[in-house]
Amino acid sequence: MKLLENKVALITGAGRGIGKAIAMRFAQEGCKIAFTDIALNDVVLETEKELKALGVEVKAYASNAANFTETQQVVDEIVKDFGRIDILVNNAGITKDTALKRMTEEQWDAVINVNLKSVFNFTKAVQPVMWKQAGGSVINMSSVVGVSGNANQCNYSASKAGIIGFTKSAAKEMGVRNIRHNAIAPGFIITAMTDALPEDVRKAWENLIPLRRGGTPEDVANVALFLASDLSSYVTGQVIHCCGGMNC
């Protein structure tokens, strides 16, 4: 029996990167996958094709995670298509890094809306479904900078810290219906964005990490699998760091 057999996962921002890795890992464990991205472009459709090749039911949806009304509409559509939602992964996120003295209101609002408001939007939309089912796992993607902060990332750090507070509060509210809420705090994860960094900058980051390497999206996906499955049935309200020890 696979770990997520017959379960349905909704994963936001899963067209690429960490979100895609989580979707692929879940699908390998028999999970049906509904995933969203801002638009159904070629990259997203290719991800949908790769997931379907794993032999599970899959559908991609275009949705702006920062828009409250769109979120409710897409969740309603997913429930109509799949019948239930057992797992929600709030992964959608952006960065607009700059020093606080140069940060504009637009840069602040955009990051808070996409990273933090989207967690509220999707959790609120999914809550009645999970409440009726008397069970579910919500996994929110935070960051080590949401715990320790980082220069030139006041907006991003604030959004990720807010996710932690939201996660812990929601866990206390919804535990009575066996709905678990946990957060993952990735550290330096190797993605297309970090691949663009100069080699010396990447090496400097890696030298700060006790395991002496950057993480992979698959490393994060394995933590998400644990939190999504019944292996973590008595784990809620927690923040699990996936950072190679850089924040230990």
Positions annotated as catalytic residues are 156
**Residue indicated by tokens 């080590």:** 144
Q: Please list the residues that pair with 184 across neighbouring strands.
A: 141, 240
Three-class DSSP labels, the chain: CCCCCCCEEEEECCCCHHHHHHHHHHHHCCCEEEEEECCCCHHHHHHHHHHHCCCCCEEEEECCCCCHHHHHHHHHHHHHHHCCCCEEEECCCCCCCCCHHHCCHHHHHHHHHHHHHHHHHHHHHHHHHHHHHCCEEEEEECCCHHHHCCCCCHHHHHHHHHHHHHHHHHHHHHHHHCEEEEEEEECCECCHHHHCCCHHHHHHHHHCCCCCCCECHHHHHHHHHHHHCHHHCCCCCCEEEECCCCCC
User: Which structure tokens are listed for 42?
Assistant: 């070629």
Distance CA 123, CA 139 (A): 10
